[in-house]
Structure 1
Amino acid sequence: MSGVFQVVGTAEIAKVNLLVAALIWLMIVPVPIRIDLAALGKLRRHWCGIGVTLFINRAVKPFSMTKLIWFFPGFVVRPDLPEGGINPCIAGAILLAAGPARRWCSSGAT
């Protein structure tokens, strides 16, 4: 069994593990598939909400999350992280912060 883990662990392209890349791809792909193409014609009516959402998701959230991310792994939990584990922790959290926030409907669905 350890041979399987060894093969999976060494399967990389450009320092990216292929299994991790495939799992991230499977996590991200369903988001654009759920886009209602028929609703694209209604975008002009909701330009203000779309603009605010884009501003928050792309201009405010990544930078505010980055400050929090640098604070907590950099200072609060630094003693609990292994040597060399701080930068990957910060990089992964910044990538998560760059993703769009979910917008909740009045029904509670996403």
Structure 2
Amino acid sequence: MSFGGQTVTFVTLTDSGNPNRLGMKPQTSTEVPVAGCLFRPLSVKEVVGVNTDIATEIWKCTAPPVPAALAAKASGQLQVDGETYEIMGDPKPHPDLSGAIHHVTIMCQKQAG
């Protein structure tokens, strides 16, 4: 099933190894490309302060109900055309009239500034 012509790479980050001196474990990433996705911008918000200027872009990914999309977590990332986006919340599966999962929606963001 295809919702668009884009391939989105789902990145799962996993803690591994021994903690460093700050108590943080190094992370390893697992990348799974998913074809047939539709990835589009929803909104942009800019916050300007005295010494800051931060733009937050919100993006929406509609993907086929493959295991990588269904297992996405808020700690993961999406990569599209060389850009990395942070996943916001858990994926939202959408059933069809028979109750089978038709597609999955994943919200994500990218910040710059």
Which interval holds the TM-score relative to the shorter structure? Answer: under 0.3
Q: Which has the larger radius of gyration?
A: 1
- As a proportion of its length, which structure holds more strand? 2
- As a proportion of its length, which structure holds more helix? 1
Structure-1-length-normalised TM-score? 0.24
